[in-house]
């Protein structure tokens, strides 16, 4: 008959595992094999008798077949391997010498195992550090945007989850490798090893499942108590009376009729962001036709932050995001492909903390984007048409003041 038991101690507690297996044999349970990611030990039942179980560290160059045969000649039978860390051998004859008759030689074997493990863990951590570093580098701006604007409240949580998991995993691995080195040093000093702490219930019941449940509860808590983001558009509810398309076009007199009203849409986003309580986007566009002499497009992105510091950070994020978009729109697949792009460059304008303007051509027309920062206000306006940014900017500043 077979009996399954979870491993009751750390994988790196050599003495603890050996003592436990010896105890099992005295209770009539003899190790048959190890399964389920080395957490489940499968025993065969039999008449209780003393059997010694010993762990043989798998050192670099370990020849499984050769060792198995040579150890068998010396009276030690191979049982199974554990996670590429140890081979388990058993011996029922009490007169046969210990697998490691000398603690110094076991120290040497454990030291070689610890060195191999340190190298592989070090390499793994290095690769993970680069991967996480790359992940953070690529996603950092999106993370900051979501942290401030709360466009997707879950994003910061999921963004932090991966590095957190890697750090926790890395710390656990380092702690385990340190344990191996401690075993090595203890043996080098010819001191006897002591068994570590044993847990009465399976590790997955006491640690992994509770962590999983707590993690899920946390995510559900965030989901439940995060007010939803709502998107509405009501021109009357906009924070400022942004200049109309006709007003913008009138900066270049004689181009279009004054009552010219292109298609308008956009959103006023309401969410739980305390750091950016006002978030608006307005888009106005019109394709050239019989009534209109040219196509036009104006987009207005406005955010009011809770402090000049937050506004400064948002300004950089929004400007970079727009700069990235402009670069993308240079691609040949875009209908309104951007050409002749002059990237954002700083300009002086009285009363503004920062002003940067990018200029380009799109769909055969001139275009520009300005990004401005004034106190808590961040405003980005993109436009294609005949109007110049110098003529339009005062209209937007007037709207901001009103």
Partner 1 sequence: MAGREKGPLTEPMYYVLMSFLGREMCGTEITEFVERRTAGRVKLGPGTLYTLLAKFQDEGLIAETSVDGRKRTYQITEKGREAFREELARLRSCVNDGDEALG
Binding site for partner 1 (CB under 8 A): 54, 56, 59, 61, 65-67, 69-71, 73-74, 76, 97-102, 104-106, 108-109
Supply the minimum distance, in Å, between the C-beta of residue 139 and partner 1: 46
278-286 and 296-304: which strand pairing? Answer: antiparallel
Task: List, as one string, the DSSP characters of 149-205.
Answer: H-SSTHHHHHHHHHHHHHHHHHHHHHHHHHHHHHHHHHHHTTPPP------SS-HII
Q: Which two tokens stand for residue 281?
A: 């986007």
Terminal-to-terminal C-alpha distance of the chain: 86
State the Cα–Cα distance between residues 172 and 117, nearest whole angstrom: 13
State the Cα–Cα distance between residues 302 and 237, nearest whole angstrom: 13
Unique residue bearing structure tokens 């046969």: 96
Supply the minimum distance, in Å, between the C-beta of residue 323 and partner 1: 58
Q: Which is nearer to partner 1, 111 or 243 (CB)?
A: 111
Q: Which two tokens stand for residue 252?
A: 């270049």
Q: Which is nearer to partner 1, 101 or 200 (CB)?
A: 101
Q: Which is nearer to partner 1, 5 or 112 (CB)?
A: 112
State the Cα–Cα distance between residues 267 and 231, nearest whole angstrom: 6
Q: Which is nearer to partner 1, 75 or 196 (CB)?
A: 75
Supply the minimum distance, in Å, between the C-beta of residue 63 and partner 1: 9
Question: What phi-psi label fits residue 16: left (phi over 0), alpha (psi between -120 and 50 degrees) or beta?
Answer: alpha
Supply the minimum distance, in Å, between the C-beta of residue 130 and partner 1: 32
Supply the minimum distance, in Å, between the C-beta of residue 61 and partner 1: 7
State the Cα–Cα distance between residues 298 and 320, nearest whole angstrom: 19
Supply the minimum distance, in Å, between the C-beta of residue 117 and partner 1: 17
Give the helix, strand, coil percentages of the chain, each rounded to 5: 40, 25, 35
Q: Which is nearer to partner 1, 15 or 39 (CB)?
A: 15
| Whether 283 contacts 231, CB under 8 Å | no
State the Cα–Cα distance between residues 388 and 394, nearest whole angstrom: 11
Q: Which two tokens stand for residue 268?
A: 């006023």
Starting at the earlier edge strand, list the strands of the sheet with 40-45. Answer: 2-6, 40-45, 29-35
Q: How far is CA 186 from CA 35, 194, 259, in A?
A: 30, 10, 89
Supply the minimum distance, in Å, between the C-beta of residue 73 and partner 1: 7
Q: Which is nearer to partner 1, 74 or 119 (CB)?
A: 74
Q: Which is nearer to partner 1, 84 or 216 (CB)?
A: 84
Q: Which is nearer to partner 1, 99 or 371 (CB)?
A: 99
| Whether 240 contacts 302, CB under 8 Å | yes
State the Cα–Cα distance between residues 90 and 18, nearest whole angstrom: 10
Supply the minimum distance, in Å, between the C-beta of residue 72 and partner 1: 9
* CA geometry: angle 219, 223, 225, nearest 5 deg: 115
Q: Which is nearer to partner 1, 70 or 223 (CB)?
A: 70
Q: Which is nearer to partner 1, 11 or 91 (CB)?
A: 91
Supply the minimum distance, in Å, between the C-beta of residue 105 and partner 1: 4
Unique residue bearing structure tokens 């209109």: 292
Supply the minimum distance, in Å, between the C-beta of residue 118 and partner 1: 17
């Amino acid at each position: 008959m077979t009996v399954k038991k979870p491993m009751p101690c750390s994988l790196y507690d050599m003495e603890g595992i050996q003592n436990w297996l010896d105890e099992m044999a005295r209770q009539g349970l003899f190790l048959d094999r190890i399964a389920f990611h080395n957490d489940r030990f499968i025993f065969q039942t039999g008449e209780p008798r003393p059997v010694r179980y010993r762990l043989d560290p798998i050192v670099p160059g370990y020849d499984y077949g050769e060792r198995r045969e040579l150890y068998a000649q010396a009276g030690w039978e191979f049982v199974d391997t554990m996670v590429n860390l140890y081979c388990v051998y058993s011996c029922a004859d009490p007169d046969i010498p210990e697998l490691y008759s000398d603690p110094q030689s076991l120290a040497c074997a454990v030291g070689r195992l610890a060195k191999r493990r340190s190298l592989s863990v070090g390499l793994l951590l290095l690769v993970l550090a680069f991967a996480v570093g790359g992940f953070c580098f690529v996603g950092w701006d999106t993370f900051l945007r979501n942290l401030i604007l709360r466009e997707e409240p879950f994003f910061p949580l999921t963004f932090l989850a991966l590095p957190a998991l890697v750090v926790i995993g890395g710390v656990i691995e380092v702690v385990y490798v340190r344990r191996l080195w401690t075993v090595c040093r203890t043996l080098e000093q010819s001191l006897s090893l002591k068994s570590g702490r044993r847990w009465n219930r399976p590790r997955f019941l006491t640690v992994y499942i509770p962590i999983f449940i707590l993690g899920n509860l946390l995510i559900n808590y965030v989901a439940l108590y995060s007010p939803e983001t709502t998107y509405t558009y009501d021109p009357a509810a906009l924070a400022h009376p942004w200049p109309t398309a006709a007003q913008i076009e009138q900066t270049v007199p004689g181009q279009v009729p004054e009552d010219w009203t292109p298609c308008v849409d956009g959103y006023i986003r309401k969410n739980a962001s305390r750091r950016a309580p006002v978030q608006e986007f307005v888009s106005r566009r019109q394709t050239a036709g019989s009534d209109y002499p040219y196509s036009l497009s104006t987009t207005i992105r406005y955010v009011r932050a809770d402090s000049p510091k937050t506004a400064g950070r948002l300004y950089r994020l929004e400007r970079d995001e727009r700069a990235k978009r402009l670069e993308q729109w240079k691609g040949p697949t875009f209908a309104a492909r951007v050409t002749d792009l002059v990237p954002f460059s700083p300009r002086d304008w009285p009363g503004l903390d920062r002003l940067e303007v990018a200029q380009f051509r799109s769909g055969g027309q001139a275009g520009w984007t300005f990004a401005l920062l004034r106190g808590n206000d961040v405003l980005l306006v993109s436009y294609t048409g005949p109007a110049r940014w110098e003529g339009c900017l005062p209209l937007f500043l007037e709207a901001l003041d009103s």
